[in-house]
Protein backbone atom coordinates (compact mmCIF):
# COMPACT_ATOMS: atom_id res chain seq x y z
CA UNK A 1 0.00 0.00 0.00
CA UNK A 2 1.27 3.50 -0.80
CA UNK A 3 0.26 6.73 0.86
CA UNK A 4 -0.13 10.14 -0.75
CA UNK A 5 3.67 10.54 -0.95
CA UNK A 6 3.91 7.19 -2.73
CA UNK A 7 5.73 5.65 0.19
CA UNK A 8 5.24 1.91 0.65
CA UNK A 9 3.90 0.58 3.94
CA UNK A 10 6.12 -2.11 5.49
CA UNK A 11 4.32 -3.53 8.56
CA UNK A 12 1.73 -5.30 6.39
CA UNK A 13 4.30 -7.28 4.38
CA UNK A 14 5.36 -10.90 4.91
CA UNK A 15 9.14 -11.59 4.81
CA UNK A 16 9.23 -12.44 1.08
CA UNK A 17 7.09 -9.38 0.25
CA UNK A 18 9.33 -7.22 2.42
CA UNK A 19 12.35 -8.51 0.52
CA UNK A 20 10.65 -7.54 -2.77
CA UNK A 21 9.77 -4.08 -1.47
CA UNK A 22 13.34 -3.49 -0.30
CA UNK A 23 14.95 -4.91 -3.45
CA UNK A 24 15.56 -1.49 -5.07
CA UNK A 25 17.78 -0.61 -2.07
CA UNK A 26 19.86 -3.75 -2.76
CA UNK A 27 19.31 -4.96 0.79
CA UNK A 28 20.92 -8.32 1.67
CA UNK A 29 18.63 -11.08 3.00
CA UNK A 30 19.89 -10.85 6.59
CA UNK A 31 19.03 -7.13 6.67
CA UNK A 32 15.48 -7.91 5.50
CA UNK A 33 15.14 -10.36 8.39
CA UNK A 34 16.51 -7.76 10.78
CA UNK A 35 13.94 -5.20 9.63
CA UNK A 36 11.12 -7.75 9.86
CA UNK A 37 12.13 -8.49 13.45
CA UNK A 38 12.24 -4.80 14.30
CA UNK A 39 8.72 -4.45 12.94
CA UNK A 40 7.14 -7.58 14.41
CA UNK A 41 9.16 -8.61 17.46
CA UNK A 42 10.31 -5.23 18.77
CA UNK A 43 7.32 -3.52 17.14
CA UNK A 44 9.06 -0.20 16.55
CA UNK A 45 7.18 2.43 14.58
CA UNK A 46 10.05 4.67 13.58
CA UNK A 47 13.01 3.71 11.40
CA UNK A 48 15.22 5.84 13.67
CA UNK A 49 14.78 3.20 16.39
CA UNK A 50 16.31 0.44 14.23
CA UNK A 51 19.65 1.09 15.85
CA UNK A 52 21.64 -1.72 14.26
CA UNK A 53 21.15 -0.17 10.80
CA UNK A 54 23.40 2.60 9.58
CA UNK A 55 22.11 6.15 9.87
CA UNK A 56 22.18 6.60 6.11
CA UNK A 57 20.23 3.39 5.54
CA UNK A 58 17.63 4.42 8.10
CA UNK A 59 17.24 7.72 6.27
CA UNK A 60 16.83 5.92 2.95
CA UNK A 61 14.13 3.78 4.51
CA UNK A 62 12.44 6.86 5.97
CA UNK A 63 12.37 8.53 2.55
CA UNK A 64 10.80 5.63 0.70
CA UNK A 65 8.75 3.67 3.22
CA UNK A 66 6.50 4.13 6.23
CA UNK A 67 5.15 2.06 9.10
CA UNK A 68 1.42 2.28 9.57
CA UNK A 69 0.23 2.99 13.08
CA UNK A 70 -3.24 4.04 14.25
CA UNK A 71 -3.42 6.69 16.99
CA UNK A 72 -5.22 6.32 20.29
CA UNK A 73 -8.09 8.77 20.05
CA UNK A 74 -9.84 7.74 23.23
CA UNK A 75 -9.18 5.18 25.92
CA UNK A 76 -11.53 3.91 28.60
CA UNK A 77 -10.30 1.69 31.43
CA UNK A 78 -12.80 -0.32 33.44
CA UNK A 79 -12.91 0.19 37.20
CA UNK A 80 -14.41 -3.29 37.62
CA UNK A 81 -11.82 -5.42 35.84
CA UNK A 82 -8.71 -4.72 33.77
CA UNK A 83 -10.58 -4.29 30.51
CA UNK A 84 -9.48 -1.33 28.40
CA UNK A 85 -11.41 -0.10 25.42
CA UNK A 86 -9.66 1.88 22.71
CA UNK A 87 -10.98 4.15 20.00
CA UNK A 88 -8.26 4.25 17.37
CA UNK A 89 -7.91 6.74 14.59
CA UNK A 90 -6.45 5.52 11.31
CA UNK A 91 -4.16 7.69 9.21
CA UNK A 92 -7.09 8.78 6.99
CA UNK A 93 -9.09 9.94 10.04
CA UNK A 94 -11.47 6.96 10.21
CA UNK A 95 -12.02 5.45 13.65
CA UNK A 96 -12.39 1.85 14.83
CA UNK A 97 -12.53 0.18 18.22
CA UNK A 98 -10.58 -2.52 19.99
CA UNK A 99 -10.72 -3.99 23.48
CA UNK A 100 -7.93 -5.44 25.64
CA UNK A 101 -9.22 -8.08 28.04
CA UNK A 102 -7.30 -9.82 30.81
CA UNK A 103 -8.20 -13.44 31.51
CA UNK A 104 -6.49 -15.88 33.88
CA UNK A 105 -4.91 -17.58 30.84
CA UNK A 106 -3.60 -14.43 29.21
CA UNK A 107 -4.44 -11.18 27.47
CA UNK A 108 -6.88 -11.14 24.57
CA UNK A 109 -7.29 -8.36 22.03
CA UNK A 110 -10.66 -7.96 20.37
CA UNK A 111 -9.93 -6.05 17.18
CA UNK A 112 -11.83 -4.54 14.26
CA UNK A 113 -11.43 -5.73 10.68
CA UNK A 114 -13.34 -3.02 8.78
CA UNK A 115 -14.29 0.62 9.20
CA UNK A 116 -18.02 -0.03 9.60
CA UNK A 117 -19.86 -3.05 8.26
CA UNK A 118 -22.31 -3.78 5.48
CA UNK A 119 -24.00 -6.85 6.96
CA UNK A 120 -26.88 -4.89 8.50
CA UNK A 121 -27.57 -6.98 11.64
CA UNK A 122 -30.48 -5.30 13.40
CA UNK A 123 -29.08 -5.43 16.95
CA UNK A 124 -25.62 -4.09 16.05
CA UNK A 125 -24.34 -0.57 16.75
CA UNK A 126 -22.21 -0.49 13.60
CA UNK A 127 -24.82 -1.64 11.09
CA UNK A 128 -26.75 1.63 10.59
CA UNK A 129 -23.52 3.44 9.68
CA UNK A 130 -22.67 1.05 6.83
CA UNK A 131 -19.25 0.10 5.49
CA UNK A 132 -16.66 2.81 4.89
CA UNK A 133 -13.69 0.63 3.91
CA UNK A 134 -11.67 -2.45 4.70
CA UNK A 135 -8.80 -2.28 7.17
CA UNK A 136 -5.37 -3.35 5.95
CA UNK A 137 -3.37 -6.10 7.65
CA UNK A 138 -1.04 -3.40 9.04
CA UNK A 139 -4.00 -1.53 10.53
CA UNK A 140 -5.15 -4.74 12.23
CA UNK A 141 -1.67 -5.44 13.65
CA UNK A 142 -1.38 -1.79 14.68
CA UNK A 143 -4.40 -2.18 16.98
CA UNK A 144 -2.54 -4.88 18.94
CA UNK A 145 0.82 -3.08 18.85
CA UNK A 146 -0.67 0.01 20.48
CA UNK A 147 -2.05 -2.08 23.35
CA UNK A 148 1.27 -3.86 23.86
CA UNK A 149 3.17 -0.58 23.87
CA UNK A 150 1.39 0.32 27.11
CA UNK A 151 2.22 -2.82 29.10
CA UNK A 152 5.33 -4.78 30.09
CA UNK A 153 6.50 -7.51 27.70
CA UNK A 154 5.13 -10.33 29.89
CA UNK A 155 1.63 -8.82 29.67
CA UNK A 156 1.56 -8.63 25.90
CA UNK A 157 -1.43 -9.81 23.92
CA UNK A 158 -1.44 -13.63 23.68
CA UNK A 159 -4.78 -14.19 21.96
CA UNK A 160 -6.86 -12.35 19.37
CA UNK A 161 -10.56 -12.37 18.61
CA UNK A 162 -11.81 -10.85 15.37
CA UNK A 163 -15.03 -9.66 16.97
CA UNK A 164 -14.69 -5.90 16.80
CA UNK A 165 -16.25 -3.75 14.11
CA UNK A 166 -16.65 -5.38 10.70
CA UNK A 167 -17.19 -8.75 9.08
CA UNK A 168 -13.78 -10.45 8.80
CA UNK A 169 -14.82 -12.71 5.93
CA UNK A 170 -15.98 -9.66 3.95
CA UNK A 171 -12.33 -8.50 4.08
CA UNK A 172 -10.93 -11.94 3.36
CA UNK A 173 -7.53 -11.24 1.77
CA UNK A 174 -6.45 -8.61 4.30
CA UNK A 175 -7.60 -10.75 7.23
CA UNK A 176 -5.66 -13.73 5.88
CA UNK A 177 -2.59 -11.55 5.42
CA UNK A 178 -2.99 -10.35 9.03
CA UNK A 179 -3.25 -13.96 10.29
CA UNK A 180 -0.14 -14.97 8.35
CA UNK A 181 1.78 -12.03 9.82
CA UNK A 182 0.52 -12.68 13.34
CA UNK A 183 1.60 -16.32 13.21
CA UNK A 184 4.83 -15.78 11.25
CA UNK A 185 7.68 -17.54 13.09
CA UNK A 186 10.14 -14.69 12.44
CA UNK A 187 7.62 -12.23 13.88
CA UNK A 188 5.03 -12.45 16.64
CA UNK A 189 4.79 -16.23 16.22
CA UNK A 190 1.32 -16.34 17.75
CA UNK A 191 -0.30 -19.75 17.48
CA UNK A 192 -3.55 -19.45 15.55
CA UNK A 193 -5.03 -21.76 18.18
CA UNK A 194 -5.26 -18.57 20.20
CA UNK A 195 -7.22 -16.75 17.51
CA UNK A 196 -10.99 -16.75 16.98
CA UNK A 197 -12.58 -15.47 13.81
CA UNK A 198 -16.25 -14.59 14.17
CA UNK A 199 -18.54 -14.42 11.14
CA UNK A 200 -22.19 -13.69 10.51
CA UNK A 201 -22.16 -16.56 8.02
CA UNK A 202 -20.73 -15.82 4.56
CA UNK A 203 -20.94 -19.42 3.33
CA UNK A 204 -18.60 -19.28 0.28
CA UNK A 205 -15.92 -17.65 2.43
CA UNK A 206 -16.33 -20.28 5.16
CA UNK A 207 -15.74 -22.89 2.43
CA UNK A 208 -12.67 -21.00 1.25
CA UNK A 209 -11.32 -20.65 4.80
CA UNK A 210 -11.71 -24.40 5.37
CA UNK A 211 -9.17 -24.96 2.58
CA UNK A 212 -6.52 -22.68 4.13
CA UNK A 213 -5.67 -25.24 6.79
CA UNK A 214 -5.41 -22.71 9.62
CA UNK A 215 -5.67 -23.81 13.25
CA UNK A 216 -7.89 -20.91 14.29
CA UNK A 217 -11.32 -21.23 15.88
CA UNK A 218 -14.21 -20.30 13.65
CA UNK A 219 -17.18 -18.89 15.48
CA UNK A 220 -20.51 -18.38 13.73
CA UNK A 221 -22.97 -15.76 14.95
CA UNK A 222 -26.24 -17.67 14.89
CA UNK A 223 -28.61 -15.72 17.13
CA UNK A 224 -31.68 -17.58 15.94
CA UNK A 225 -32.64 -21.18 15.14
CA UNK A 226 -35.12 -20.52 12.35
CA UNK A 227 -34.85 -18.82 8.99
CA UNK A 228 -37.72 -16.36 9.28
CA UNK A 229 -36.56 -14.98 12.63
CA UNK A 230 -32.86 -15.05 11.65
CA UNK A 231 -33.52 -13.23 8.38
CA UNK A 232 -35.38 -10.53 10.31
CA UNK A 233 -32.37 -10.07 12.64
CA UNK A 234 -29.57 -10.73 10.15
CA UNK A 235 -30.20 -9.92 6.48
CA UNK A 236 -27.25 -12.17 5.48
CA UNK A 237 -29.53 -15.11 6.26
CA UNK A 238 -31.65 -14.35 3.19
CA UNK A 239 -28.65 -15.08 1.02
CA UNK A 240 -27.22 -17.95 3.07
CA UNK A 241 -30.02 -19.60 5.07
CA UNK A 242 -29.42 -21.87 8.06
CA UNK A 243 -29.33 -25.17 6.17
CA UNK A 244 -26.51 -23.90 3.95
CA UNK A 245 -24.71 -22.22 6.83
CA UNK A 246 -24.77 -25.25 9.12
CA UNK A 247 -23.79 -27.56 6.24
CA UNK A 248 -20.75 -25.30 5.69
CA UNK A 249 -19.92 -25.57 9.43
CA UNK A 250 -20.07 -29.38 9.18
CA UNK A 251 -17.78 -29.33 6.14
CA UNK A 252 -15.42 -26.96 7.90
CA UNK A 253 -15.10 -29.46 10.74
CA UNK A 254 -14.56 -32.40 8.38
CA UNK A 255 -11.85 -30.52 6.46
CA UNK A 256 -10.01 -28.90 9.37
CA UNK A 257 -10.75 -31.16 12.35
CA UNK A 258 -11.69 -27.99 14.23
CA UNK A 259 -15.17 -27.71 15.65
CA UNK A 260 -17.04 -24.49 14.92
CA UNK A 261 -18.50 -22.65 17.91
CA UNK A 262 -21.69 -20.63 17.82
CA UNK A 263 -22.52 -17.21 19.21
CA UNK A 264 -26.05 -16.51 20.37
CA UNK A 265 -27.06 -13.08 21.66
CA UNK A 266 -30.02 -13.67 23.94
CA UNK A 267 -32.75 -11.15 23.13
CA UNK A 268 -35.80 -10.90 25.34
CA UNK A 269 -38.95 -12.03 23.57
CA UNK A 270 -37.09 -12.69 20.29
CA UNK A 271 -35.00 -15.83 20.67
CA UNK A 272 -35.02 -16.80 24.36
CA UNK A 273 -38.00 -19.20 24.65
CA UNK A 274 -37.82 -22.94 25.52
CA UNK A 275 -39.15 -23.54 21.99
CA UNK A 276 -36.20 -21.58 20.51
CA UNK A 277 -33.80 -23.73 22.57
CA UNK A 278 -35.46 -26.88 21.28
CA UNK A 279 -35.24 -25.71 17.66
CA UNK A 280 -31.62 -24.66 18.13
CA UNK A 281 -30.70 -28.08 19.55
CA UNK A 282 -32.45 -29.83 16.64
CA UNK A 283 -30.52 -27.70 14.18
CA UNK A 284 -27.14 -28.16 15.83
CA UNK A 285 -27.22 -31.87 16.75
CA UNK A 286 -26.54 -33.18 13.21
CA UNK A 287 -23.76 -30.67 12.47
CA UNK A 288 -21.01 -32.51 14.36
CA UNK A 289 -22.36 -36.07 14.65
CA UNK A 290 -21.69 -37.77 17.98
CA UNK A 291 -20.54 -34.55 19.66
CA UNK A 292 -22.34 -32.09 21.84
CA UNK A 293 -22.54 -28.74 20.07
CA UNK A 294 -21.25 -25.70 21.90
CA UNK A 295 -22.98 -22.34 22.06
CA UNK A 296 -21.65 -19.12 23.59
CA UNK A 297 -24.47 -17.08 25.01
CA UNK A 298 -24.18 -13.31 25.21
CA UNK A 299 -26.90 -11.19 26.79
CA UNK A 300 -27.64 -8.76 23.95
CA UNK A 301 -26.08 -5.36 24.57
CA UNK A 302 -28.83 -2.82 24.27
CA UNK A 303 -27.94 -0.34 21.53
CA UNK A 304 -29.68 3.00 21.33
CA UNK A 305 -32.70 2.96 18.94
CA UNK A 306 -32.62 -0.78 18.24
CA UNK A 307 -35.29 -1.56 20.84
CA UNK A 308 -33.74 -4.91 21.83
CA UNK A 309 -33.48 -5.89 25.51
CA UNK A 310 -31.24 -8.53 27.03
CA UNK A 311 -32.88 -11.85 27.80
CA UNK A 312 -31.66 -14.16 30.57
CA UNK A 313 -28.65 -16.04 29.24
CA UNK A 314 -28.54 -18.20 32.39
CA UNK A 315 -32.15 -19.28 31.86
CA UNK A 316 -31.63 -19.96 28.16
CA UNK A 317 -28.55 -21.99 29.03
CA UNK A 318 -30.71 -24.25 31.21
CA UNK A 319 -33.17 -24.74 28.36
CA UNK A 320 -30.29 -25.66 26.02
CA UNK A 321 -28.66 -28.07 28.47
CA UNK A 322 -31.99 -29.88 28.86
CA UNK A 323 -31.74 -30.40 25.10
CA UNK A 324 -28.18 -31.77 25.25
CA UNK A 325 -26.40 -28.63 24.02
CA UNK A 326 -23.42 -27.25 25.97
CA UNK A 327 -23.62 -23.53 26.55
CA UNK A 328 -21.40 -21.02 28.26
CA UNK A 329 -22.54 -17.60 29.29
CA UNK A 330 -19.99 -15.06 28.09
CA UNK A 331 -18.61 -13.15 31.06
CA UNK A 332 -19.35 -9.52 30.41
CA UNK A 333 -16.16 -7.54 30.87
CA UNK A 334 -15.83 -3.79 31.20
CA UNK A 335 -19.53 -3.17 31.68
CA UNK A 336 -18.83 0.32 32.97
CA UNK A 337 -16.95 1.38 29.80
CA UNK A 338 -19.35 0.47 27.03
CA UNK A 339 -17.20 -2.48 25.99
CA UNK A 340 -20.09 -3.44 23.72
CA UNK A 341 -18.65 -3.20 20.29
CA UNK A 342 -19.28 -0.23 18.05
CA UNK A 343 -20.69 2.14 20.60
CA UNK A 344 -17.64 4.38 21.04
CA UNK A 345 -17.29 4.93 17.31
CA UNK A 346 -21.00 5.56 17.02
CA UNK A 347 -20.87 8.18 19.81
CA UNK A 348 -17.79 9.75 18.27
CA UNK A 349 -19.51 10.04 14.88
CA UNK A 350 -22.66 11.47 16.44
CA UNK A 351 -20.59 14.10 18.30
CA UNK A 352 -18.74 14.90 15.11
CA UNK A 353 -21.97 15.32 13.15
CA UNK A 354 -23.65 17.49 15.77
CA UNK A 355 -20.57 19.76 16.00
CA UNK A 356 -20.25 20.26 12.27
Which residues of this chain interact with ligand SAH, rule CB under 6 A? 121, 123-124, 163, 167, 198-200, 221, 263, 265, 298, 300-301, 303, 340-341
- CB within 8 Å of 123: residues ≥ 6 apart: 223, 233, 265, 267, 300, 303, 306, 308
Q: How far apart are CA 352 and CA 356, in angstroms?
A: 6
Catalytic residue among 110, 117, 124, 341: 341
Q: CB-hemisphere CA count at 13 Å for 74?
A: 16
User: Cβ of residue 271: shortest distance to ligand SAH, in angstroms?
Assistant: 12
Closer CB to ligand SAH, 13 or 165, in the complex: 165
- Nearest Cα residue to 253 out of 281, 296, 291: 291
User: Cβ of residue 257: shortest distance to ligand SAH, in angstroms?
Assistant: 22
Closer CB to ligand SAH, 8 or 332, in the complex: 332
User: Cβ of residue 305: shortest distance to ligand SAH, in angstroms?
Assistant: 12
DSSP one-letter code for 25 = G
Closer CB to ligand SAH, 123 or 240, in the complex: 123
Closer CB to ligand SAH, 22 or 340, in the complex: 340
- Our answer to whether residue 341 is catalytic in this structure is yes
- Nearest Cα residue to 52 out of 68, 67, 66, 31: 31
Task: From residue 12, give the alpha-carbon distance in Å to each of 21, 194, 343.
Answer: 11, 20, 28
User: Cβ of residue 235: shortest distance to ligand SAH, in angstroms?
Assistant: 12
- Nearest Cα residue to 180 out of 142, 220, 216: 216
Catalytic residue among 9, 95, 97, 200: 97
Query: What residues are annotated to the active site?
Result: 97, 341
Amino acid sequence: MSNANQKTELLGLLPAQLADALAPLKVPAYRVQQIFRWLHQRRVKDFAEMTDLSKQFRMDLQNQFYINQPKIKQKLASCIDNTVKYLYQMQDGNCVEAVRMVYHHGVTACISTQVGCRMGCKFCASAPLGLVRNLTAAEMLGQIDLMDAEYPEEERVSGVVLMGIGEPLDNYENVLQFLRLLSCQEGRAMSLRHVTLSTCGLVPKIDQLAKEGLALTLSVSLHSPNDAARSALMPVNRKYPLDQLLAACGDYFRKTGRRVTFEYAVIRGENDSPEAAKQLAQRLRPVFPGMRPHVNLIPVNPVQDTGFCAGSAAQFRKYLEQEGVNATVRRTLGEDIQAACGQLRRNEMQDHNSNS
